[in-house]
Structure 1
Amino acid sequence: MTQDDLYRTVVLERARTPRYSGPLAGAQMQGEGSNPLCGDRVRLQANVDVQGRVAALRHETRGCAICAASADLMAERVVGQEPARVSQLHADLVTAVETGIAPEGLGELSAFAPLHRHRSRIRCAMLPWSALIEMLNDDKDR
């Protein structure tokens, strides 16, 4: 399977049938992101454990398939991770979408690497991540 095939398969499947969509009962944190240029909006709700790891993450996404798939894959990937690992995953995804080369360890998130050829769509994939990083940083500052 080529990287483009993986992109189409993963994005379409996760946009149609998200696994981590909907509200999170008893959420400790909330974050939001929006892109006024295209109308994408994402709302995140999360819980962290006593070690600061993401214990649960859910999203409510109104936007394109890329944004919805990115939010869902992100929610799956970061559960159980410490903030430093979340930041590293974010940085690795930025590398992938900017260069087309996915660093080791991205898993299905590497499906977004072909976006390097579609610069205007990179923001769609990164919007949920920006909201997550901001939410985690806001929580750390409290």
Structure 2
Amino acid sequence: MSFNNNLDTLYRQVIMDHYKNPRNRGSLDDGSVTIDLNNPTCGDRIRLQMKVEDNIVVEAKFQGEGCSISMSSASMMTQAIKGKKLEEALKLSDIFSNMMQGKEYDDSIDLGDIEALQGVAKFPARIKCATLAWKAMEKGINE
């Protein structure tokens, strides 16, 4: 078995782990930013809630339903932005967007589990699934 096959298997396991055991699933009820987005192409829906204090994402939760890619991406994204300044969260989103489009991206930042989604770039129809939560986060920060 080649290295790439092992890596693909590992990445699939990471994605399925976030799908079956989502991090930060739930809701916030204390004056947090709430964004609802959906992807009509495949029926993914997400409600992202973020609590921001002093320009820092102190808490992020999501609810929704959809494919394993959209839900695991939401889980990974909420983990990645917690404790980050808003600019850092937006930079991560930019890096993720470039990764999804198969463009060069700043790999000096440790993406952790998010890297497991890089294979999605090979499936253009699934890119919207992977980026849904990220678009919700950008919208929440920019509003």
Question: 3-state DSSP class of the match of 2:101?
Answer: helix
Question: 3-state DSSP class of the match of 1:43?
Answer: strand
2:140 aligned with 1:135, yes or no? yes
Partner of 2:70: 67
Structure 1: runs of 5+ lacking an equivalent: none
Name the % identity: 28
Partner of 1:19: 23
CA distance in 2, matches of 1:81, 1:67: 22
Give the alignment's TM-score, normalised by structure 2: 0.89
Q: How many residue pairs get matched?
A: 137
2:9 aligned with 1:5, yes or no? yes
**Superposition pairs of residues 95-134 of structure 1, within 5 angstroms:** 95-99=98-102, 103-104=107-108, 105-134=110-139
Q: Which amino acid aligns with 1:39?
A: G
Give the alignment's TM-score, normalised by structure 1: 0.89
How much has 1:116 moved relative to structure 2? 1.5
Q: Which amino acid aligns with 1:63?
A: G
How much has 1:5 moved relative to structure 2? 2.1
8 A Cα contact 1:61 1:71, kept in partner? no
How much has 1:101 moved relative to structure 2? 6.5
Pick which of 52-61 and 102-111 moved more.
Answer: 102-111
Structure 1 ranges of 4+ moved more than 6 A: none
Partner of 1:82: 85
Q: Which amino acid aligns with 2:84?
A: Q
**Superposition pairs of residues 32-43 of structure 1, within 5 angstroms:** 32-43=36-47
Q: Deviations over 1:26-59 (max 9, x none)?
A: 142101110111100000111111x210000000
Question: 3-state DSSP class of the match of 1:99?
Answer: coil
CA distance in 2, matches of 1:16, 1:101: 30
Structure 2: runs of 5+ lacking an equivalent: none
CA distance in 2, matches of 1:56, 1:33: 19
